[in-house]
Amino acid sequence: MTTRLRAVVADDHYLVREGVRRALTADGTIEVIAVVGDAEELERVVDREVPDAVVTDIRMPPTHGTEGIEAAHRIRLRHPTIGVVVLSQYNDAAYAMDLLRGGTAGMAYLLKERIGDPRTLIRAVTTVAEGGSQIDPDVVASLVHAGRASSHLAALTDRERDVLGLMAQGRTNAAIAQELHLSESSIEKYASSLFSKLGLSDERHVHRRVAAVLAYLQDQRSARPIEPDR
C-alpha cells in the first residue's frame, strides 16, 4: 500500500478550505490531516503534526496582510523538509518574490483558481513535498509576454521564452518537448542556452529552472512599480 502524503490546509474562508481539501483528496494520494483558519493555528498544527506539505492562503487574520507567506518562512526555518504551496488570488510578481526570497526548494506559488483543477493542485503539493518548486504559469505568462526586459532576458529567443514559461509550470523536458512538438534533446539545448544567457550555468541543476523564472520576475518588479492591492 502506497503511503499517502500528509497535508495541512490554511485559509480563513470556510468554502475555500473545503474546496482545497476536496481537491487535494480527489485521487487518494494525499491525506489532509487538518484544516485551519489562521496563520497562528497553522504553525501550531504544523509543529505538532509535522506534515509533508502545507497549503496556505497569503492573507489571513489578524491583519489580512502577508501572514501566509511569513508563516511559510517560519515553518521552513523550523521544519526545512516540509513543502509549502501558497495560494493567492493575486497575479502579482511581488508576492512570488517575497515567498521565494529565501530559496526556491520546496516552495510553490499558485493562483486560487487552481483549486478547480485537482490535478494541478495535487501536482504542486507532490512537487514541493519532494523538494521541487513551482510558480503559477499565469503569473509567468503575464510577465514573459509583457513589459521591459533586462539585456540578459532580451537576449532570449521566442522559443527560449516558450521553454521558460513551461518550465515555470513544473514541466519536465519530456513534457515540454511534447507540448512544443520538439525532441527532448532540442529542449535540453534550449534550456542550456537560456540558462547560459541568464548567467545560471553554474547553478545547481535542480534549481536553475525556477531561478531563470525568478530572474524575469525580479526584472519586471524593478522595471515598473507594483501598485498595492485594494
Tens digit of each residue's pLDDT (9 = 90 or more) over 40-65: 999 999 999 999 999 999 998 888 88
Joined together, the cell numbers standing for residue 89 give 488570488
Please report, as a single letter, which amino acid is at residue 53. A
Tens digit of each residue's pLDDT (9 = 90 or more) over 210-226: 666 666 555 555 554 44
The region of weakest confidence among 27-36, 59-68, 175-184 is 59-68
The pLDDT value recorded for residue 204 is 46
The region of weakest confidence among 41-50, 87-96, 164-173, 183-192 is 164-173
Q: Which residues lie below 8 Å from residue 133, measured CB to CB, with a gap of 6+?
A: 100, 104, 105, 106, 107, 108, 127, 170, 207, 209, 210
The helix-helix angle for 205-223 and 184-197 (nearest 10°) equals: 50
200, 148 contact by CB (below 8 A): no
Q: Which residue has the higher pLDDT, 177 or 100?
A: 177
The stretch 195-209 carries a mean pLDDT of 61
Joined together, the cell numbers standing for residue 49 give 503534526
The pLDDT value recorded for residue 225 is 44
46, 8 contact by CB (below 8 A): yes
Tens digit of each residue's pLDDT (9 = 90 or more) over 75-91: 999 999 999 999 998 87
The region of weakest confidence among 19-23, 104-108, 148-152 is 148-152
